[in-house]
Amino acid sequence: MNRKILIVDDEPDFSELVQYRLSDCGYEFQVATNSTDALNHAWDSPPDLILLDLLLPDLDGLSVCEIFARHPATERIPVIMITAVGTEVTRFSAQVAGVRQFFAKPVNFEILKTTMRQLLDAAP
């Protein structure tokens, strides 16, 4: 069975790039362009891992991650934040919100693949 990955990013080009660069991993992808869609996707059909942008058009990624962490359907799903805002303050805030790993754009996809495998293998 393929692992489900939810990509949450308001830039369709980036979501397509992620899917293309991870296509050799055998993942099944869902894409959300805002926090409302992300929450609905995650609660209706919980993914195995979430790739989450910080800057979204409605709620920011930190708020979304905090909601995921408090909801029974998503509290154990690992979240990787991928954002153009790579400051130390943002990294710390992401960690406090429950983000498991943090990547600043542009992403090194080989490191991302390795990180995703490690998180998926460690998930209950």
Domains of the chain as residue ranges with CATH: 4-122 (3.40.50.2300)
Closest CA to 2 of 43, 64, 49, 69: 49
- Per-residue pLDDT at 1: 62
Is the separation of the CB atoms in 102 and 80 below 8 Å? yes
What's the pLDDT tens digit per position in 26-61? 999 999 999 999 999 999 999 999 999 999 999 999
Task: Evaluate if residue 86 carries a pLDDT over 90.
Answer: no
Q: How sure is the predictor about 87, in pLDDT bands with cuts at 50, 70 and 90?
A: confident
- Per-residue pLDDT at 73: 92
